[in-house]
């Protein structure tokens, strides 16, 4: 493994692990990094809506123990990888063994989408790795390989062959019918791409140099339920919850969700996410998270939240967020509320198939837990 790197000596190679796999609505690592120096220098860091684990990676860079929770299995799989301490060659070796072991014949999806999306030989190799990882215990190598596979599963066609699919966005998976129309219109057929060769390139790039390992854990599930079973005390909470009206996390990640054991078709469901039926439901659900979080924080703990709204929703995002803290009635006292600007084009979703629509302005809220 690459040598540990201190805070003042971060090289570009150290930051590559955080870019292991793009994720819808990811925020830049600079956000949690800018918060942590001002936060308490000791104690655990929590992100109850951890997404791909950027807060955890920032905590690792700062040498802080950390925990992440997310209801989305894709997010949890990626976040776990931000805490691994593993040599690239170990991950490559695991991939090689899984591809060459005497495994039972794997089932390959047969719908037209799959024949357009992947070369038949590439798809067989993907399915072999998928089945093996579904049955494998969580080790540093299997966690890293799983996240690497999620990162290379789909993306744009390039001479460097960094992705396994036909032309697709990196950040979200286009729905089958729309994808097939695009490929047919542009006469694009999937090239033969070797899984092992692609894993080798990505592993040697992303795992070239890792930050010093810190204690940490990631759990897939509802934050309030996970925290009920948690005996950890946290000093700092940094997070960005789903914005009101955002219901596409699971269907937008359907291809990666399939790799993790889900069905081979998009699932249009938001049952496990924050309820989006009404603002009052959303506020109450978010308040439960702030309440549960406060119950597991030390007095004087810091809560920093990046929040905003969708352009299609004409709502007062700041007012909505303030209502959630007030409804929680858990002792969180707002100390600052400042604009965070708008995410740059392309930061929130890839636009190979459609034109991206930027989110409206976001803001950062800092609150302190009263004793």
Residue 142 Cα to chain centre, angstroms: 17
DSSP classification of residue 339: E
By C-alpha distance, which of 66, 74, 96 is closest to 21?
74
**144 close to 91: Cβ distance less than 8 angstroms:** yes
User: Tokens in use for 100?
Assistant: 């060459």
Task: State how far the Cα of 72 lies from the Cα of 75, in Å rounded to an integer.
Answer: 5
Residues 6+ apart with CB under 8 A from 252: 24, 172, 173, 349
**The dihedral of CA 171, 176, 178, 181: what is its sign?**
positive
Give me the pLDDT at residue 106, please. 87
Please name the residues in contact with 88: beta carbons below 8 A apart, sequence gap of 6 or more.
203, 204, 206, 207, 208
DSSP, collapsed to helix, strand or coil, labels residue 184 as helix
- Residue 25: predicted pLDDT: 64
Q: What is the pLDDT along the chain (371 residues), one digit of tens a residue?
A: 443 444 445 778 999 999 999 877 668 899 999 999 888 778 999 999 999 999 999 999 999 999 999 999 999 999 999 999 999 999 999 999 999 987 668 899 999 999 999 999 999 999 999 999 999 999 999 999 999 999 999 999 987 779 999 999 999 999 999 999 999 999 999 999 999 999 999 999 999 999 999 999 999 999 999 999 999 999 999 999 988 876 667 788 999 999 999 999 998 866 667 767 788 999 999 999 999 999 999 999 999 999 887 655 567 888 999 999 999 999 999 999 998 866 554 444 333 333 344 445 788 999 999 97
Tokens of 235: 């000093």
Per-residue pLDDT, 247: 62
Q: What is the pLDDT of residue 160?
A: 74
pLDDT at 312: 52
What's residue 250's pLDDT?
79
Name residues whose C-beta falls within 8 Å of residue 16's C-beta, 6 or more positions apart in sequence. Answer: 205, 206, 207, 208, 209
Alpha carbons 128 and 98: distance in angstroms, whole number: 7
Domains of the chain: 7-77+215-369 (3.40.50.150), 88-206 (no CATH)
Q: What is the DSSP string of 37-62?
A: TTS-SSSEEEETT-TTTHHHHHHHHT
């Amino acid at each position: 493994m690459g040598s540990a790197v201190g805070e003042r000596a971060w090289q570009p190679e150290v930051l590559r692990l955080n870019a292991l796999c793009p994720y819808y609505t990811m925020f830049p690592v600079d956000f949690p990094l800018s918060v942590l120096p001002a936060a308490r220098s000791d104690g655990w860091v929590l992100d109850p809506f951890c997404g791909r684990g950027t807060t955890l990676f920032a905590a690792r860079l700062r040498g802080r123990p950390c925990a992440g929770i997310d209801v989305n299995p894709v997010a949890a799989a990626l976040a776990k990888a931000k805490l691994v301490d593993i040599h690239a060659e170990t991950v490559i070796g695991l991939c090689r063994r899984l591809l060459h072991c005497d495994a039972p014949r794997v089932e390959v999806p047969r719908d037209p989408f799959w024949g357009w999306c992947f070369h038949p030989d590439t798809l067989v190799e993907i399915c072999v790795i998928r089945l093996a990882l579904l049955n494998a215990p969580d080790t540093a190598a299997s966690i890293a390989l799983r996240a690497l596979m999620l990162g290379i599963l789909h993306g744009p066609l390039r001479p460097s062959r960094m992705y396994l699919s036909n032309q697709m966005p990196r950040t979200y998976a286009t729905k089958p019918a729309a994808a097939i129309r695009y490929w047919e219109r542009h006469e694009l057929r999937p090239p033969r791409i070797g899984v092992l060769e692609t894993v080798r390139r990505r592993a040697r790039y992303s795992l070239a140099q890792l930050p010093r390992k810190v204690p940490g854990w990631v759990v897939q599930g509802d934050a309030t339920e996970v925290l009920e079973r948690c005996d950890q005390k946290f000093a700092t909470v940094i997070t960005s919850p789903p914005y009101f009206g955002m219901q596409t996390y699971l269907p937008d990640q359907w291809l990666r969700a399939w790799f993790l054991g889900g069905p081979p078709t998009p699932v249009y469901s938001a049952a496990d996410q924050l309820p989006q039926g009404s603002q009052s439901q959303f506020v109450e659900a978010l308040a439960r998270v702030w309440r549960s979080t406060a119950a597991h924080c030390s007095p004087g703990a810091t809560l920093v939240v990046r929040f905003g709204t969708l352009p299609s929703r004409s709502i007062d995002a700041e007012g909505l967020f303030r209502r959630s803290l007030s409804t929680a009635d858990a002792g969180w006292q707002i100390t600052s509320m400042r604009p965070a600007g708008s995410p740059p084009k392309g930061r929130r979703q890839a636009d190979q198939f459609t034109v991206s629509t930027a989110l409206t302005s976001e803001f950062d809220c800092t609150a302190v837990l009263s004793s």
